[in-house]
Amino acid sequence: MNEIVKGSIDLIRQLNYGLVYASLEEHKELSRTDLSRLTGLSPASITKITRELLDGGLVVTCGESSVGRGRRQTLLRINERRFQFLSMRLGRGYVDMALFDFSGRSLARQRHLFTEEERADLLGSLVHAIKVFLPRKSLSLACIALCLPGQVERHSGMVKHFPFYDLRNWPLGPTLQQAFSVPVLVSGDVRTWIQAEREWGAAKNCADAVLVFVHNDIGVGMVVNGQLIESENALLGDLSHLQLEPYGQRCYCGGFGCACTLVTNQALEAQYRDLRERMQEHDLPESVTIRELCELALAGNGLCQDILHQAAGRLSKVLSNLICLLNPGKLLLGGEITRADRLLFPMLHQSLASQLPAEYLVRLQIESTHFYEDPTKPTSVQVHKALRDGSLLLELLRSCQES
């Protein structure tokens, strides 16, 4: 019984700290009286919380209020430069890393490609890559946020399954926490991405939204009635292995004709090489990146437009299932293929119209994601959420008091 009461008090304390932080984040500069009014917390609680935040350097004073006739009040604001955090996406064979301050300003970024040798000890190689990336001087690392295309147990940071490397029960969060002595926030990547789109991007104010990310995999993030669909016990939102062609190419999963063998970046680049050879289009470059393929299609190249057309047809099979199931107001498409959105989206609309009843398409808007190629910015949404719910804030204050 005591446990439950204590737990509740701790949670309320955490949420109160988060509330103060969120108010300062929203209004930029506030007096203690303003904070008390906005949060509904007593002046004594505000004095205690702000004192701790000031002592930890998370908040600083910034002049005095000059409104009204009463005593002038000291204004407070968040000290956005006090801490930095590392935001990362672990992809197939690489990791994107970026260092941010609390204002969301990116201070440094890098992509590290893992060699075959490094892949054999992925965790050790990742720790080493982070150590090389992080600046040695004037760094106050608050936390590490990381996302990956896999199934993650968020509270423990354990990766239950990372399909590409076929890793199971992989102690990613605990290992990084031990190596860098900071909180580590691990999550599935598209799940994080759609939260960032809802927070800052293309799905703002949209209660029913689906994000489909086409890269080396096909990941789906889903929000229904404002609620993120998530599970710690199941791998959600991975449509990479949805079979589109039973007699298609062999996939690394062991199946045939999976969506990831047909519409991902690598698949489209391979289709280009194959079609160029078959059509004897020797004036075209021998191989192209997905980005170049999109640019050629936009410039009017028929071969590249045909590849996109075929991809749109295949992708619409994946999308129509999702639309039937979730009936979203917004369907966000992410990945480099959306460089050719001017061509691709009308193709998708046309293909979907031939597969779905009209009522599913009445309110549907298909748009590109706001966050485009860089996955580190969407990952940082986890840090902002953890500051606003107070959980990360309390950890930072604890570490400030200990040091």
Minimum CB separation from Zn ion for residue 332, in Å?
24
Minimum CB separation from Zn ion for residue 63, in Å?
59
- DSSP label of 91: -
193, 221 contact by CB (below 8 A): yes
Which CB atom, from 258 or from 307, has the smaller least distance to Zn ion?
258
Task: Write out 273-292 in H/E/C secondary structure.
Answer: HHHHHHCCCCCCCCCCCHHH
- Residue whose tokens read 């505000």: 46
Which CB atom, from 208 or from 238, has the smaller least distance to Zn ion?
238
Which CB atom, from 133 or from 256, has the smaller least distance to Zn ion?
256
Minimum CB separation from Zn ion for residue 106, in Å?
34
Which CB atom, from 262 or from 297, has the smaller least distance to Zn ion?
262
Between residue 113 and residue 172, which ones bind Zn ion under the rule CB under 5 A? none
Minimum CB separation from Zn ion for residue 241, in Å?
4
Phi, psi (degrees; rounded to nearest 5) at 218: -120, 105
Between residue 208 and residue 247, which ones bind Zn ion under the rule CB under 5 A? 241
Q: Which two tokens stand for residue 90?
A: 């672990």
290, 269 contact by CB (below 8 A): yes
CA angle, residues 271, 274, 276, in degrees to nearest 5: 105
* Residue among 85, 318, 91 nearest 188 (CA): 91
Minimum CB separation from Zn ion for residue 331, in Å?
23
**How many positions of this chain bind Zn ion (CB under 5 A)?**
5
Which CB atom, from 241 or from 276, has the smaller least distance to Zn ion?
241
Phi, psi (degrees; rounded to nearest 5) at 76: -120, 150
Binding mask 48-67 for Zn ion (x = CB under 5 A): --------------------
Beta strands in 249-337 (DSSP E): 330-334
Which CB atom, from 84 or from 240, has the smaller least distance to Zn ion?
240
Minimum CB separation from Zn ion for residue 266, in Å?
13
Measured in residues, the chain has a length of 403
Between residue 240 and residue 269, which ones bind Zn ion under the rule CB under 5 A? 241, 251, 253, 255, 258
Q: Which two tokens stand for residue 400?
A: 């400030």
Minimum CB separation from Zn ion for residue 255, in Å?
4
17, 388 contact by CB (below 8 A): no
CA angle, residues 110, 114, 118, in degrees to nearest 5: 135
Which CB atom, from 57 or from 255, has the smaller least distance to Zn ion?
255
Interface contacts to Zn ion, rule CB under 5 A: 241, 251, 253, 255, 258
